[in-house]
Amino acid sequence: MQYMKQYKILVFDLDDTLIDNYENVKHAFKRITNEQGLVYSEKEFLRWYEIDKNFWRDWQDGKIKLPEKYKNEVGKKSKGFLDWLRAQRVLRFFGSQLPLDEAVRINNAYMAALKDNVVPIDGAKEVLTQLSQKYQIVVATNGPSIATHDKLEKIGCLRYVKYILSADMYGYMKPRVEFFEGIQGTINNHKNEDYLIIGNSLQSDVAFAMNCGTDSCWFNKDKEKVQGGYSPTYIIEHLRALEDIL
């Protein structure tokens, strides 16, 4: 493995890379469960967690059937489209008989609650503090940009991030190359060799880098095996190990 490449821009994922998404989602789920007059249970939370994770994977893979009025939307999506899309997770969980406007309301409450209890990944602030002295720090997420801003502020990392870039800004999710093209255009740097993409997901982050022709660092805190033909440039098990690579 060859280290000491001269990167200029570090592109971090957010969920489960800089923040503990599991604890964040659990807190927000408890909030909407309480608001709906339901009793929280670990079983139902795990069902929500899987529905949420699988929904975005299905969307990423083009498996979500769109209403006719949204089929021609490309690139940056309208608010109506985003409300409809995010509400589909709620409908999967509570049942499709729930009115759409109520599903949108529940989803908005859920997204607001995601900003309340944000738990950082160990070492996140310390690593960004050090690396921001030498590199441009970018956070690129498939989640909404407003929530990302608030989450980074909650964990004391916002000041170290130069750009917060999200799928809802460009209309394409990782690992689509169009998202990376949007990042390059925003930063005004089109040299692929200047970027290192860092994240916890082989399917989203490592595949993103492979699709875009950049190097990647897989944050493999759960010590899983590389599968599915993915080939990260680097593998780390703790964020502090980035300092050894860079």
3-state secondary structure of 10: strand
Residue given tokens 């592109």 in the structure block:
11
For the cut 90, the answer to whether the pLDDT of residue 158 exceeds it is yes
Write out the DSSP string of 11-56: EE--BTTTB-HHHHHHHHHHHHHHHTT----HHHHHHHHHHHHHHH
pLDDT band at 114 (very low <50, low <70, confident <90, very high): confident
Kindly tell me if the per-residue pLDDT of 76 is higher than 70. yes
- Can you tell me the mean pLDDT for 170-191? 93
Residue, of 4 and 206, whose pLDDT is higher: 206
Q: Is the peptide bond before 175 cis (omega within 30 degrees of 0)?
A: yes
pTM score of the predicted model: 0.85
Question: Cα–Cα distance between 41 and 44 in angstroms, integer?
Answer: 5
DSSP state of 121: P
For the chain, give the percent of residues with pLDDT over 70: 98
pLDDT of residue 18: 97
Domain limits of the chain?
9-19+119-245, 22-113
| Mean pLDDT, all residues of the chain | 91
Contact 189, 212 (CB under 8 A): no
Contacts of 162 (CB under 8 A, 6+ apart): 132, 136, 137, 138
Query: What is residue 77's predicted lDDT score, i.e. its pLDDT?
Result: 81
pLDDT at 44: 96
pLDDT greater than 70 at residue 99: yes
Q: What is the pLDDT of residue 171?
A: 80
Q: Closest Cα partner for 76 from 186, 161, 158, 197?
A: 186
Most confident of 27-31, 72-76, 94-98: 27-31
Half-sphere exposure of residue 42: CA atoms within 13 angstroms, side-chain side: 0
Per-residue pLDDT, averaged over 43-53, amounts to: 94
Alpha-carbon distance 131 to 147, whole Å?
A: 23
pLDDT value at 2 more than 70: no
Instruction: Assign 62 a pLDDT band (cuts: 50, 70, 90).
Output: confident
Q: Point out the least confidently predicted range of 15-19, 22-26, 122-126, 199-203.
A: 22-26
The DSSP call for residue 204 is I
In terms of CATH architecture, what is 9-19+119-245? 3-Layer(aba) Sandwich (3.40)
Provide the residue type at 53 as one letter. K
Nearest to 218 by CA among 195, 241, 234, 242: 234
> What are the tens digits of pLDDT across the range 204-229?
999 999 999 999 999 999 999 998 89
pLDDT band at 4 (very low <50, low <70, confident <90, very high): low
**126 pLDDT above the threshold of 90:** yes
Cβ atoms of 143 and 15 closer than 8 Å: yes
Asked if residues 134 and 161 have their Cβ atoms less than 8 Å apart, the reply is no
- The amino acid that residue 9 corresponds to is I
For residues 115 and 208, which has the higher predicted lDDT (pLDDT)? Answer: 208
